[in-house]
DNA sequence: TTATTATCCTAGTAATCCGATAGGGTAATA
DNA sequence: TATTACCCTATCGGATTACTAGGATAATAA
């Protein structure tokens, strides 16, 4: 299941991608438009900022804005920041690999081989989709 | 993340698919071979039985066995029984559809459209993979 | 300068889910 | 009739999730 954090994060990012990029948008504005709790959204935008996706400005007229052109933000990046690994099991994860305790030989593991296929297909979609693609 | 329940379930099923189909295999046997806790495995096999994947036999020489030919058991079926919906969000689920509270128009929702692609790709893999494919 | 606005940051918390275990009951076989 | 092995319900600690509280900090406007 996709977490609400990721869901809200993607919604907020596409909202920002649709705006005039020069002007910051306040949390309150995004919150109202996308029906997301202010406080929860706050924490999500903060992690996006800490990970170099968003910039921010304080005070009156302040808010968040995209640091890059939407077409240069692939969904792999967004997913990894908000959701964590794209793979369904750690033993097939590219960025968060972990060996299974119970599995003596990954190459012979049915789950492993199946989940590699799922991962590859998901990666293809996330890599080929940018924020710009989602604004239309 | 794939639950351990599903992971163990797939492992147990492929183990059974490799056996002489006429003979039941005990929980203890599968448990030892696949490094799965007996009690946990017990509950997993029981749900697979209740959902028509496995048959069972009690008493000495008893155990579980596949009710169908492994090549007639697609992973879509196994996943839906053990893991639940294949989609990452209920609003794109074929078998467990649910509308989002926050989303006024699914067709205009970025998350919705992205997750449809992910679902379609995963479905393709799970549909085209049977238990027989996983035994090799 | 100071009041206002809006982000920054740490903590906490209720609810839910997960993985596993307990402890019997029931049916089949020897 | 004893043993084996599945059947079934209930529980439970720990982790995660989806928030919420409450104040600190910085920028702007008066």
Q: What is the pLDDT of residues B121-134, one digit of tens each?
A: 999 999 999 999 99
Q: Locate A9 and state its tokens.
A: 């994060």
pLDDT of amino acid A107: 94
At B1 the three-state DSSP class reads coil
CB contact, 8 Å: B135 with chain A?
yes
Q: Which residues touch strand D (CB under 7 A)?
A: A 3-5, 37, 39-40, 42-43, 57-62; B 24-28, 42-43, 45-46, 49-50, 56-64
Q: Is B124 on the interface with A (CB under 8 A)?
A: yes
- pLDDT value of residue B20: 80
3-state SS, residue A18: coil
Could you tell me if A114 lies within 8 Å of chain B, comparing CB atoms?
yes
pLDDT at A44: 98
What is the four-CA torsion angle of B87, B92, B96, B101, rounded to 10 degrees?
A: 120
C chain positions with any atom within 7 Å of a protein CB: 4-11, 18-23, 26-30
What confidence score (pLDDT) does residue A21 get? 76
Q: Do the chains contact at B89 and A36, CB–CB below 8 Å?
A: no
The three-state secondary structure class of B65 is strand
**For residue A39, how many other CB atoms are within 10 A of its CB?**
10
pLDDT digits (tens, 9 = 90+) for B74-111: 999 999 999 999 999 999 999 999 999 999 999 999 99
Q: What is the pLDDT of residues A6-50, one digit of tens each?
A: 999 999 999 999 998 779 999 999 999 999 999 999 999 999 999
Give the pLDDT confidence score for residue A22 in this predicted structure: 74
Q: What is the pTM of this model?
A: 0.95
Distance CA A29, CA B25 (A): 60
In angstroms, how far is CA B84 from the centroid of its own chain? 8
The predicted-structure confidence for B15-63, as pLDDT tens digits, reads as follows 999 998 779 999 999 999 999 999 999 999 999 999 999 999 999 999 9
CA distance A92 to A71: 28
Look at residue A20 in the predicted model and tell me its pLDDT. 80
| Rounded Cα–Cα distance for residues A111 and B95 (Å) | 23
**Angle CA(A123)–CA(A126)–CA(A129) in degrees, nearest 5?**
145
The nearest alpha carbon in chain B to A83 belongs to: B1
pLDDT at B18: 95
């Amino acid at each position: 299941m996709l977490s609400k954090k990721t869901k809200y994060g993607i919604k907020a990012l596409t909202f920002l991608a649709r705006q005039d990029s020069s002007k910051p948008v306040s949390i309150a504005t995004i919150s109202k438009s996308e029906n997301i709790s202010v406080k929860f959204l706050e924490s999500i935008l903060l992690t996006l900022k800490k990970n170099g996706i968003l910039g921010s400005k304080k005070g009156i007229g302040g808010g968040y804005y995209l640091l890059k052109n939407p077409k240069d933000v692939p969904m792999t990046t967004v997913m990894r920041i908000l959701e964590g690994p794209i793979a369904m099991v750690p033993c097939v994860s590219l960025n968060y690999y972990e060996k299974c305790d119970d599995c003596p030989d990954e190459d012979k593991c049915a789950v492993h081989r199946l989940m590699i296929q799922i991962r590859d297909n998901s990666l293809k979609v996330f890599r080929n989709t940018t924020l710009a693609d989602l604004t239309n």
